[in-house]
Amino acid sequence: MDPSPLPQPPRLNRRDFVALASTAAIVATVPGNRAFAAESAETAVSADQFISGKDQRLIVHSTKTGEIETPLELLRQHRVTPKDLLFVRNNQVLPETLTVAPAQSPDWRIELKGLLETPRTVTVQQLSKLPQQDVELVLQCSGNSRSRYEESLKTDGVPWKNGAMGNIVARGVPLAAVIESCGAKVQPTARYLTAEGKDLPLKTGAPDFEHSIPLADALQKSLLVLSLNGEPLPKVHGGPVRLVTPGYYATMNVKWVSALTFSDQESSNYHHVGRYRNPRAPLKLGAPFESTLDNSDPHWNMRIKSVIFAPLEGAKLTAGQVEVSGVAWNDGGSKIVAVEVSLDDGATWRRAELTYPASPYAWHPWKVKVHVPPGNVKLLSRAVDALGNSQPLDGAIHWNPAGYSWNGVDAVRVTAQG
Ligand SMILES: Nc1nc2c(c(=O)[nH]1)N[C@H]1C(S)=C(S)[C@@H](COP(=O)(O)O)O[C@H]1N2
Ligand SMILES: [Mo]
């Protein structure tokens, strides 16, 4: 778990951290501050004012429920993304959770129901006594990099750049072990697991956020997570307990889990059927799309992707040898066999040196030295896995009105002085 850093500029020193932390603490104790934060939205409110303990340099896209992104210059400084830098995406908010402080809730209950021989309830205290597992994994919103679609056609949703993701260490109890320990026998007809959190919709009566995942995957991979990067799970990231399925989009990792339902069908919930799905057949740019269970796929396994961490967009360089570096990942289901970089719009590619992390679900760091000529240069990167999956040169082939699941080649424009 030692965050052996990617080779990057120095991070905040301790004094800065202490200063930041105390600012956040003061802000959080000002009465009525929350209401102020919610009203003034994007412009006035910094991340640490909105969510206590977050770094004030994070990008605040929206304070309606919480959409906060990590700039790449901060994200690239750590192999394991610290809690104060990790992005946040709330569709709904559980009161009192806009903080990185841990939840002290040993009595928190999760109901196990549906196709079980007998329904059961497990508490956080019971979970904390079971053997825990660590998994290093990429936590990525399925809207990450949405702004890249704008090069072809704008989409709905906040314009995330590449920072609606982080690389974290999730520690928790495998779902299969939870089921076994409480003696809940799953009936053979069960095929899906639907997770629901304690948070409620902004408007009363609106559909509550929940998601279904295939039970076979859940039994193999999902954890009921109690800790993040070796510390108790911060409230804002779902503390005290969150369902995490490595290799899946973060969207499916339901925070503040309160119920797990075993069923023979996917949930018909609006957030699971009407949102967070990708069209199965390509759409024409600008075409409307209403997702149903039949015409679309849910945001389960992450598409293969790479992101350039250095140089950053707009960098001014000296022409000549330049090291290009970044990270790559996929759903962990097949080995990433190459990451390649192009300086000629994809006509030719140079292979980067790839480092394999212990966990197949974690960021795979890569780097390569290339010769950058004087002038304006566009650097591209793409990852390829053992099944031949890669990133399309034209990411807009996956265009959809909600701007989900971008995985086009990454592109960074730099200027080199001769
Ligand atoms: N209960 C609950 N879980 C949730 C959400 C939510 O609104 N409520 N948002 C989801 C979405 S869309 C994302 S991308 C991730 C964000 O995780 P983070 O805020 O811990 O970074 O949480 C997911 N889990
Ligand atoms: Mo998301």
CA of 246 to the centre of ligand 1 (A): 14
Domain 305-417 has CATH 2.30.30.60: no
Q: Whose CA is nearest to atom 19 of ligand 1?
A: 88
DSSP lists the bridge partners of residue 369 as: 323
Q: Among all chains, which residue has been given the structure tokens 């904390």?
A: 128
- Could you say which ligand is closest to the alpha carbon of residue 143? 2
CA of 38 to the centre of ligand 2 (A): 20
Q: Which of 110, 140, 209, 245 gets mutated to test ligand 1 (max ligand atoms within 8 A of its CB)?
A: 209
Residue type, 323: E
**For residue 12, what pLDDT is reported?**
33
**For residue 44, what pLDDT is reported?**
80
**For residue 294, what pLDDT is reported?**
96
- Could you say which ligand is closest to the alpha carbon of residue 94? 1
What are the structure tokens assigned to 240, written together? 């005290």
> According to CATH, where is 3.90.420.10 located in the chain?
109-298
Q: Which of 89, 99, 244 gets mutated to test ligand 1 (max ligand atoms within 8 A of its CB)?
A: 89
Determine the Cα–Cα distance for residues 156 and 352; give it in Å rounded to an integer. 34
Q: Looking at the domain that runs over 109-298, which CATH code has it been given? A: 3.90.420.10
| Ligand 1 pocket, Cβ-based, cut-off 6 angstroms | 86-92, 139, 141, 197, 199, 209, 237-238, 250-251, 253-256
Bond before 311 cis per omega within 30 degrees: yes
Residue 54, SS3? coil
Bond before 392 cis per omega within 30 degrees: no
> According to CATH, where is 2.60.40.650 located in the chain?
305-417
Mean pLDDT for each 10-residue chunk of the chain (418 residues)? 38 32 32 34 80 98 97 98 98 97 97 97 98 98 98 97 98 98 97 98 94 98 98 98 98 98 97 98 97 98 98 98 98 98 98 98 98 98 98 98 98 97
